[in-house]
Structure 1
Amino acid sequence: MLATKENVTVKRRSKGEQTRNNILIAAIDILAHNGIKGTTHRAIANHANIQLSLTTYYFKDIQELVHQAFKLNSEHITQLTDFAWKQAFDYLDAIGKTQLKKVSVKKQVREQLSQLATEYIINKVTEMPIALAVEQLLFTEIQTTPQLRELADQHRNLLLGPFVKLCQYFDQENTKLDADILFTIFTQIEYRNIMLPVDQIDRAAIYEQVNRVVGWIMKLK
């Protein structure tokens, strides 16, 4: 088939989008290892093994490049989060809110949710350490780079949403407060473990921490 002008345009756009995406992925790696000050066009080009002119062609402003890298990183994390939480909510919906009021049922649910949450945290720590490191950088950098605050707030709210939904199964009065506490503890567990070799991650310790806070949310002793 002869290549029409439209076909050529689509192919060029596709290649251009791929190059742009590769630049952002390289920027995420550089952010994780060098921080914002060490994230330059040259460092990104070297890491992506492309010409420096390409990074400046797609992103003339390094601040915009960094912002878009943070945004892409946020999308990767929230996609994994949405998929992982679905399993927990399907489980709770199958039980029903009436049964969830029974102490014996709540104890079984606590055990199941704690196991799911432990696997969720370990998967994030082992599969996405760079993404989590960049997420942590985003949250800390807003102190000195206010331009990132809106993106950081949006990312946090997306991550917080499932925690709010979880807490609604057990408490309607303090849902947002409980969710914020639960989210903070989960996040700190993740950040503490991202620098550890996989064989040094203490699964039992993570489970105990998660089990304790989940039990507290469910008002179980």
Structure 2
Amino acid sequence: MSEDTTLNYRGRKASRARSEQRRRAILEASLRIVVADGVRGIRHRAVAKEANVPLSATTYYFKDISDLIADTFILFAENAMNDVLDPIYKNVGEFIGEHKAYVGSSTETNNRVVEALAMMIVAFLKHELTEKRDHMIAEQAFKHECLRDSRLREVAKAYFEYLMSEMTELCRVIGVADPDIAGELLIGTLDRLEHEALMVPVEEFDEQRANKIMQRQLRAFL
């Protein structure tokens, strides 16, 4: 996670390491509930039971349930940036770095780069579906909750700006015109593919179709 993407927790701060461990356990339990039951499943009693802590512990750190929800979203965002987004952008960035000198040299070269890049992006999507599915479900849950709860939008704004800035930078590096617009279009395409993929069993994910869609978008930019 970049240093300028700082998310500030709202609940009571922990003063000791053991206290911080309990607070973290509460948030991790809350995040598991989001995956299983959605954001509206976050309630003090449910979280305390899931975290195996006294009810007084959840109310001590989070008197307001909205703070518990917001801090759970922040934990999700931090985990997503560090464990999911950064590795993906690092690998895609390295690929582009190796091939950017050849982009634009010929239609044939562009096609090869587009095919390889699309395959890489779809492979990461498939990996998320099999290994990081909980992350994808939580992201969708928080997106929808932001429509109901305006207090979550500050966290959402920081998270999605980070997501967008990295994609925009990748577009800029390979010389795409209007990289900010191209980045938005690519993120929108990926979001749609992720949502569709979550609607079916993993084995029914149509990688070939996803590849064609990503290639079509990338070819339009190049």
| TM-score category of the 2 structures, normalised to the smaller one | 0.7 to 0.9
1:38 aligned to 41, 51, 67, which one? 41
Superposed CA RMSD in Å reads 1.9
The answer for the alignment partner of 2:186 in structure 1 is 182
The answer for the alignment partner of 1:107 in structure 2 is 111
Structure 1 pair 197–173 and aligned structure 2 pair: CA distance change class (3 A): closer
Map of 1:65-144 to 2, 5 A cutoff?
65-79=68-82, 80-97=84-101, 99-102=102-105, 103-144=107-148
Deviating above 3 A after TM superposition, structure 1's stretches of 4 or more consecutive aligned residues are 169-173
* 3-state SS, counterpart of residue 148 of structure 2: coil
Partner Cα separation in structure 2 for residue 91 and residue 128 of structure 1: 22
CA deviation after TM superposition for structure 1 residue 159, in Å: 0.8
Letter in structure 1 aligned against 2:191: T
> For structure 2, which runs of at least 5 residues remain unmatched after alignment?
1-14
Partner Cα separation in structure 2 for residue 96 and residue 184 of structure 1: 23
Query: Any idea what the Cα deviations from partners look like across 1:194-221, whole Å, max 9, x if unmatched?
Result: 2433222222222222222222222xxx
Identity, in percent, stands at 26
Letter in structure 2 aligned against 1:30: I
Q: Is the counterpart of residue 164 in structure 1 residue 168 in structure 2?
A: yes
Partner Cα separation in structure 1 for residue 175 and residue 142 of structure 2: 31
Query: Any idea what the Cα deviations from partners look like across 1:165-217, whole Å, max 9, x if unmatched?
Result: 12213445321111101101101111222243322222222222222222222
User: Does the aligned pair in 1 maintain the 2:96–2:174 contact within 8 Å?
Assistant: no
Letter in structure 2 aligned against 1:121: L
> For structure 1, which runs of at least 5 residues remain unmatched after alignment?
1-11
Partner Cα separation in structure 2 for residue 202 and residue 173 of structure 1: 30
User: Does the aligned pair in 2 maintain the 1:25–1:69 contact within 8 Å?
Assistant: yes
CA deviation after TM superposition for structure 1 residue 147, in Å: 0.9
Please, what TM-score do these two structures have when normalized by structure 2? 0.84
* Bigger-Rg structure (1/2): 1
Query: Any idea what the Cα deviations from partners look like across 1:39-65, whole Å, max 9, x if unmatched?
Result: 101111122222222212222221111
Shifted more, 193-202 versus 139-148: the winner is 193-202
Please, what TM-score do these two structures have when normalized by structure 1? 0.85
The answer for the alignment partner of 2:8 in structure 1 is none
The answer for the alignment partner of 2:60 in structure 1 is 57
User: Does the aligned pair in 2 maintain the 1:114–1:207 contact within 8 Å?
Assistant: yes
Partner Cα separation in structure 2 for residue 199 and residue 55 of structure 1: 39
User: Does the aligned pair in 1 maintain the 2:176–2:182 contact within 8 Å?
Assistant: no
User: Does the aligned pair in 1 maintain the 2:171–2:179 contact within 8 Å?
Assistant: yes
CA deviation after TM superposition for structure 1 residue 23, in Å: 1.0
